[in-house]
Amino acid sequence: LAMLDRKKLGQWQANNAKKAGAMIKTGSKVTSIGKDYVVVSNKEIYFKTLVGADGVGSIVRNHLGLKNNKIHLTMQYIIQGNFKELEIHFDSKICKEGYKWVFPHKGWASIGIGFDPKRNDIKKVRENFNIWLENKGIDTKKAKFESMPILYDYQGFRFGNIFLAGEAAGLTYGLTGEGIYPALASGEEVAKIIIDKNFNPILIPKILRKKKIQEILITIITRCSFLGVLLHTLGFWLMKRKKWQSKAIRLTLS
């Protein structure tokens, strides 16, 4: 396992896109979408193909009339310091079916929690999370607090000449909240489809199969708390066994 800095990844992607001839306009908010154009700063920009890779609050997805029924919520603190170990914690006392994490980076760490807001009191989860942090000796007074929803409600990625990629398409994994790989893979295959109409996606179907497995697990966990505890225990047991370690990690954490 390795941690990835999303900001640096985005900068690297932008530089490569510019080298390939792409024009990138920052600070340009799309306010509405027509049949073959988008409106940016009261100006109509026409398109032959539109790709919505605009995340959980996707205006393109909204334009297509797709609902957002499957949403989880995350909270995290950005803590300065050296954290050596990646940590995953399951604790039903803090929130139902969610998990806590410590994701170390160079000189800082993301320490957070993800859960279903429909099955948990958000205020109570944050209170319990802060108590957990205090018990671990982690000071959050000077830390940056962030909270973001995670959309995993997939309803398709191609709608005529309009495509959705990544979280805008709901391709994020519902059990773990992982979205970087689905975003990169779906973006790549959407580009290939635009270039070659006969191209058949390979990675997107694989992502959908893994999403299906994870969402079956979510259903089991939410309907029976005992089975949820059993699955968590089994998952940790498999992660500690060399024979099953890599498969268990790929299924649960990727």
| pLDDT, tens only, 5-24 | 888 999 999 999 999 999 99
Residue 185 neighbours by CB distance under 10 Å? 19
Whether residue 2 is predicted with pLDDT greater than 70 in this model: the reply is no
94 band by pLDDT with thresholds 50, 70 and 90? confident
- The amino acid at 109: A
Nearest 10 degrees: Cα torsion 51, 56, 62, 63: -20
Phi, psi of 2 (to 5 degrees): -145, 150
Weakest mean pLDDT among 73-82, 126-135, 177-186, 210-219: 210-219
- Reduced to 3 DSSP states, what percent helix, strand and coil does the chain have, rounded to the nearest 5? 40, 20, 40
**What domains, with CATH codes, occur in the chain?**
6-68+152-214 (3.50.50.60), 71-149 (3.30.9.10), 224-253 (no CATH)
pLDDT digits (tens, 9 = 90+) for 117-165: 998 999 999 999 999 999 999 999 999 999 999 999 999 999 999 999 9
| DSSP-derived secondary structure for 88-129 | EE--TTTSSS-EEEEEEETTEEEEEEEE-TTSS-HHHHHHHH
Where is pLDDT greater, at 76 or 247? 76
Q: pTM of the entire structure? A: 0.85
Strand pairing of 71-80 and 37-40? unpaired
Instruction: Give the C-alpha separation, 167 to 58, whole Å.
Output: 8
